[in-house]
């Protein structure tokens, strides 16, 4: 017989033998457990029956002593204390099905009858009545009860003995099978051992395959993060030994999430595979290309050792990546942010190089793409950014965020018709900080939800206060993009309005079109629920970014806000005036209110009135003011308004 067939037969036989041994062991173990349980059960039942026997004997002895002493108080108390002592064991037997129910009922009936007779004897003895007949009756009741309990106990012991004998017989059979099987398994195992050497190479190939899987990305075929760490450490060791510099590039794709969300994950995978191919084609034989995960890639470039050469290589790679990619019949443009760190200029070990390349990559991302080489000043900025982030979290908790209000006026009447809530941070050391300083940080760190909640709470409290003073002034609050994808956000708004007692019509939520576009489907549902609650929706910075009439149809909002970049120059630039006029006409035709931001001159305000704009805000009307100052401004100017 050929070796493979012999090995297969031997392995099969060994497996069968092992299975038989396992079954025998399992059966033996199971039998042992069952036997133990059965012995424990019978012993417990026997113990309970013995307890009943002892107890009724004790009761009978107590009765005899009571009758012999003609009912002394001591013997009476002892007898009364002894009566009923067997009930606990009877209850246990009933709850645990210890014995046959009919037998148990017979014992319990006899026992209770015996107890009643004893109680009658005690009652008659105390009354001076002769109890001779009752004494005989008690004896007649006691003897069958005792004999019945002993009989049942003997039956259980015999059953246990027979059960153990059967268990021993089964154990002998299993032992015989196990002994025979062990001999067969040993023989077959020897055959298996003789052919295992022939499979050594196969095992080595499998190990190599597993190593490849552990160090490579299954989608792109590139090395993975583990591969990068291994190669980076090797490059550092080589650099230290041979004084050979090299460079590390970290690449993060921009707008990859948009491809995934718009075209689906399959298209996203196609994009990653295409990027991997372009990176391989752009690199030389000695370069190492890996995918770190998601849309992040890394390159080790010994062929571009110096910092300027590495940055130039990054620019060439970026140019290749920026070429349009065809996905599902569509041409898609992508961009990337690349961070560069060089050994030993920017780090003396792999961890330091990775950290500094990551810092450079995020610096490039903040600049909206491109290639950025590491510089120590970037680290300082990041440290300051982390410090400011920690201070912001603590400042929110301490109530350091304050809300200023920039009033809006009705363009035709010049009367105030609302205000926009603008957040500031009263930093304990740096003073009053504007939103540009900390809002981007809050959005990146996830603190924007806490900021939004604090601004909403202060704004609604102020609306309530102004209403009490006779100034029913609507207030606009800017809402971040992530709130529009939160299904719970409308409920949060409803709860806040109810808590402050503010009518929904006095609150306007300002959003940007880009926030809606990020997830148009979910944002549309959230906005629809907010509108149903009676909250007003305003599209901020309309005319910039992704303005689309389709969005006005799908949302739809209550008002449009013309971006300040058009309003500030419309008196000097006819193109800006044309844009403002077009937005005003569009809004009026759609029966939307239109608000102009950035009104800084009287001529701009007059022009807006001529164009038919409804509301305006800007420095010409008023700078953003603390709530108390705006309250005084409203009262001093006699500009209080009331809306039905």
- Torsion angle of alpha carbons 632, 635, 638, 644, nearest 10°? 120
Q: What is the pLDDT of residue 638?
A: 46
Rg (CA), the chain: 45
Q: What is the pTM of this model?
A: 0.48
Asked whether residue 435 is domain-assigned, the answer is no
Asked whether residue 208 is domain-assigned, the answer is no
Residues 461 and 348 in one domain: no
CB 433 within 8 A of CB 404: no
**Residues in CB range of 403: below 8 A, 6 or more apart:** 421, 422, 423, 424, 455, 458, 459, 462, 627
Say how many CA atoms lie within 13 Å of 97 toward its Cβ: 0
- In our burial notation (b when 16+ CB lie closer than 10 A, e otherwise), range 540-569 reads bbbbeeebeeebbeebbbbbbbbbbebbbb
Q: What is the C-alpha to C-alpha distance for residues 576 and 568, in angstroms, rounded to an integer?
A: 9
Residues 45 and 140 in one domain: yes
CB 106 within 8 A of CB 144: no
Identify the CATH number of the domain in which residue 285 sits: 3.30.70.270
**Residues in CB range of 500: below 8 A, 6 or more apart:** 457, 460, 461, 463, 464
Q: What is the pLDDT of residue 263?
A: 76
* Ramachandran category for residue 559: left, alpha or beta (phi over 0 → left; psi -120 to 50 → alpha): beta
Phi first, then psi, for residue 13 (nearest 5°) are: -65, -40
Asked whether residue 153 is domain-assigned, the answer is yes
Provide the token pair at 190: 């020897």
Residues 274 and 168 in one domain: no
Asked whether residue 563 is domain-assigned, the answer is yes
**For the chain, how are helix, strand and coil distributed in percent, rounded to 5?**
65, 15, 20
Provide the token pair at 476: 């606009």
Residues 543 and 630 in one domain: yes
Phi first, then psi, for residue 228 (nearest 5°) are: -60, -50
Residues 457 and 605 in one domain: yes
CA distances from 332 to 266, 326, 390 (A): 14, 6, 39
Residues 336 and 410 in one domain: no
Q: What is the total count of domains within the chain?
A: 3
**Residues in CB range of 308: below 8 A, 6 or more apart:** none
Residues 248 and 134 in one domain: no
Q: Tokens 């920039």 correspond to what residue?
A: 406
CA distances from 594 to 531, 538, 564 (A): 18, 9, 13
Asked whether residue 441 is domain-assigned, the answer is no
> Helices (DSSP H) in 414-447: which residue ranges?
435-445
Phi first, then psi, for residue 411 (nearest 5°) are: -60, -35
Provide the token pair at 577: 């005036």
165, 195, 225 - which closes a domain:
195
Q: What is the pLDDT of residue 640?
A: 38
Query: Whose CA is closest to 3, among 205, 196, 188, 203?
Result: 196
Residues 189 and 259 in one domain: no
Low-confidence ranges of the chain (pLDDT < 70): 1-8, 10, 13, 17, 21, 24-25, 27-29, 31, 70-71, 128-140, 185, 188-189, 191-201, 203-209, 211-212, 261, 368, 379-386, 445, 513-520, 543-555, 636-644
Q: What is the pLDDT of residue 91?
A: 85
Q: What is the C-alpha to C-alpha distance for residues 615 and 609, in angstroms, rounded to an integer?
A: 9
Residues 265 and 145 in one domain: no
Class of residue 532 by CB neighbours under 10 A (exposed 0-12, middle 13-18, buried 19+): exposed
Q: What is the C-alpha to C-alpha distance for residues 28 and 184, in angstroms, rounded to an integer?
A: 20
CB 114 within 8 A of CB 145: yes
Residues 498 and 598 in one domain: yes
Q: What is the C-alpha to C-alpha distance for residues 87 and 142, in angstroms, rounded to an integer?
A: 15
CA 26 to mean position of chain CA atoms: 42
Residues 460 and 365 in one domain: no
Q: What is the pLDDT of residue 639?
A: 40
Peptide bond into 464 cis (omega under 30): no
Asked whether residue 554 is domain-assigned, the answer is yes
> Helices (DSSP H) in 286-375: which residue ranges?
307-321, 350-366
Domain, as residue range, for 320: 217-384
Asked whether residue 314 is domain-assigned, the answer is yes
Q: What is the C-alpha to C-alpha distance for residues 67 and 270, in angstroms, rounded to an integer?
A: 102
Q: What is the C-alpha to C-alpha distance for residues 248 and 339, in angstroms, rounded to an integer?
A: 8
Asked whether residue 616 is domain-assigned, the answer is yes
Identify the CATH number of the domain in which residue 52 sits: 1.20.1440.210
Provide the token pair at 409: 């006026």
Query: Whose CA is closest to 325, among 381, 278, 373?
Result: 278
Query: Whose CA is closest to 504, among 482, 480, 535?
Result: 535
Q: What is the pLDDT of residue 45?
A: 82
Identify the CATH number of the domain in which residue 580 sits: 3.20.20.450
Residues 256 and 307 in one domain: yes
């Amino acid at each position: 017989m050929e070796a493979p067939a012999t090995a297969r037969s031997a392995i099969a036989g060994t497996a069968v033998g092992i299975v038989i041994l396992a079954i025998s062991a399992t059966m033996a173990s199971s039998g042992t457990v069952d036997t133990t349980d059965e012995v424990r059960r019978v012993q417990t039942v026997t113990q309970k029956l013995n307890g009943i026997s002892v107890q009724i004997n004790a009761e009978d002895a107590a009765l005899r002593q009571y009758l012999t002493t003609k009912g002394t108080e001591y013997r009476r108390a002892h007898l009364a204390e002894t009566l009923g002592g067997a009930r606990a064991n009877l209850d246990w037997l009933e709850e645990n099905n210890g014995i046959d129910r009919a037998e148990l009922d017979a014992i319990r009936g006899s026992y209770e009858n015996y107890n009643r007779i004893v109680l009658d004897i005690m009652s008659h003895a105390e009354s001076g009545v002769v109890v001779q007949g009752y004494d005989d009756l008690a004896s007649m009741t006691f003897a069958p009860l005792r004999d019945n309990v002993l009989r049942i106990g003997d039956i259980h012991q015999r059953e246990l003995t027979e059960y153990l004998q059967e268990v021993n017989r089964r154990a002998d059979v299993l032992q015989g099978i196990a002994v025979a099987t062990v001999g067969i398994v040993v023989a077959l195992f020897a055959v298996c051992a003789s052919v295992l050497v022939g499979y050594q190479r196969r095992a080595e190939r499998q190990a190599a395959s597993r190593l490849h899987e552990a160090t490579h990305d299954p989608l792109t075929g590139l090395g993975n993060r583990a591969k990068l760490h291994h190669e980076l450490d090797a490059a550092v060791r080589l650099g230290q030994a041979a004084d050979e510099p090299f460079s590390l590039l970290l690449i993060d794709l921009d707008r990859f999430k948009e491809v995934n969300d718009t075209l689906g994950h399959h298209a996203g995978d196609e994009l990653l595979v295409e990027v991997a191919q372009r990176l391989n084609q752009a690199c030389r034989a000695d370069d190492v290309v890996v995918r770190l995960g998601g849309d992040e890639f890394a390159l080790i470039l010994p062929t571009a050792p110096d910092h300027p050469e590495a940055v130039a290589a990054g620019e060439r790679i970026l140019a290749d990546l920026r070429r349009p990619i065809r996905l599902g019949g569509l041409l898609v443009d992508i961009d990337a942010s690349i961070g560069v760190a060089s050994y030993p200029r920017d780090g003396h070990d792999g961890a330091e190089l990775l950290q500094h390349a990551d810092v450079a990559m995020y610096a490039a991302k903040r600049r909206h793409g491109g290639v950025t080489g590491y510089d120590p000043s970037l680290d300082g900025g990041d440290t300051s950014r982390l410090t400011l982030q920690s201070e912001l979290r603590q400042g929110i908790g301490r109530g350091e965020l304050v809300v200023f209000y920039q009033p809006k006026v009705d363009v035709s009447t010049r009367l105030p018709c609302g205000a926009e809530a603008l957040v500031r941070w009263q930093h304990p050391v740096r003073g009053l900080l504007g939103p540009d300083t900390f809002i981007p940080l809050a959005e990146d760190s996830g603190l924007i939800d806490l900021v939004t909640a604090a601004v909403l709470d202060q704004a609604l409290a102020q609306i309530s206060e102004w209403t009490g003073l006779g100034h029913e002034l609507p207030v606009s609050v800017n809402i971040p993009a992530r709130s529009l994808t939160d299904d719970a956000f409308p409920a949060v708004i409803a709860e806040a309005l109810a808590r402050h007692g503010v009518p929904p019509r006095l609150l306007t939520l300002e959003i940007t079109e880009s926030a809606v576009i990020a997830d148009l489907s979910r944002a549309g549902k959230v906005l629809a629920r907010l509108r149903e609650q009676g909250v007003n929706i305003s599209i901020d910075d309309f005319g910039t970014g992704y303005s689309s009439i389709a969005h006005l149809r799908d949302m739809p909002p209550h008002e449009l806000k013309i971006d300040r970049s058009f309003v500030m120059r419309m008196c000097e630039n006819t193109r800006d005036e044309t844009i403002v006029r077009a937005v005003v006409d569009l809004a009026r035709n759609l029966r939307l209110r239109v608000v102009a931001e950035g009104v800084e001159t009287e001529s701009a305000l007059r022009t807006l009135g001529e164009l038919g704009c409804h509301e305006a805000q800007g420095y010409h009307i008023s700078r953003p003011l603390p709530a108390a100052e705006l309250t005084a401004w409203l009262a001093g100017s006699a500009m209080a308004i009331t809306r039905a």
